Amino acid sequence: MAQSNSTLNHIARQIAAAWQLVRLSPQAIDEFEVTANSFWKSFWVIILVAPLFLIGVYVGSQVIGELENELKQKIVISIPGQITVFLVQLPLLAIALGLFTKFLKIEKHYSSMIIAYNWLWMVISYCTVPFIILMVAGLIPAQMAALIFWMLMFYFKGYVTWFMFKHALKISGWLAFGIMVFQTLFILSVSQVVMLIFV
């Protein structure tokens, strides 16, 4: 019971720190528990986001299933591929960022950056994915959905992620922007490679 409470308290503290990042608090990084154990625990977010991800996959498959045959043939989405990308993207990104930050000689705060990134990824997922599910399901008018979608992506995937890299690694804004671009391109590359394998 004590172990269970300790685990829940750890998750709650890390989520609270990630939420402070969303609110653009420079002190948020100091709120994360940064230990070797916490580093590995940060990958628990994959399990914590999995239910939301699976709901999204189900809704997407249902929408595609209702399309006319001509349109359906043009949309090739591999569910095993999507699941694989979901499972491997954070571990592979952690390795890639480890090598990249070492190359740039800014690896001193690597562990705290990965911990912050992973928990922030979870918070961003729960802030954005429900909207994306509603959008894909056609429950939000198309023009409004497109506008809100790009606003969410700019703020969460762009500005907040840049802010996290800047303060977690304690680097300049320009260097943080470069790290963010590298992270984005790496995840897109992983997605493309995995989808090519499963299609």
82 band by pLDDT with thresholds 50, 70 and 90: confident
3-state helix, strand, coil in the chain (%, to 5): 85, 0, 15
Render 27-64 in DSSP notation, one character per residue. THHHHS--SHHHHHHGGGHHHHHHHHHHHHHHHHHHHH
- What pLDDT does 66 receive? 58
> Taking Cα atoms as reference points, which of 144, 108, 125 lies closest to residue 34?
108
Instruction: Map out the domains of the chain as residue ranges.
Output: 2-198
Is the pLDDT reported for residue 26 higher than 70?
yes
pLDDT at 176 over 70: yes
pTM exceeding 0.85: yes
Q: How many residues does the chain have?
A: 199
Please tell me the distance from the alpha carbon of residue 34 to that of residue 100, in angstroms, as a whole number. Answer: 20
When mean pLDDT is compared across 51-55, 69-73, 98-102, 120-124, the lowest value belongs to: 69-73
Evaluate whether 115 touches 38 at the Cβ level (below 8 Å).
yes
pLDDT averaged over every residue in the chain: 87
Confidence of residue 195 (pLDDT cuts 50, 70, 90): confident
- The pLDDT value recorded for residue 71 is 45
Q: Which range among 33-42, 69-78, 127-136, 185-194 shows the weakest confidence by mean pLDDT? A: 69-78
Structure-token match 């004590």, residue found: 2
| Virtual torsion, Cα 129, 46, 189, 94, nearest 10 deg | 130
Confidence of residue 50 (pLDDT cuts 50, 70, 90): very high
* CA dist., res. 183 & res. 10, Å (int): 26
Contact 81, 194 (CB under 8 A): yes
For 84-110, the pLDDT digits (tens) are 999 999 999 999 999 999 999 999 999
Report the distance separating Cα 117 and Cα 39, nearest Å: 11
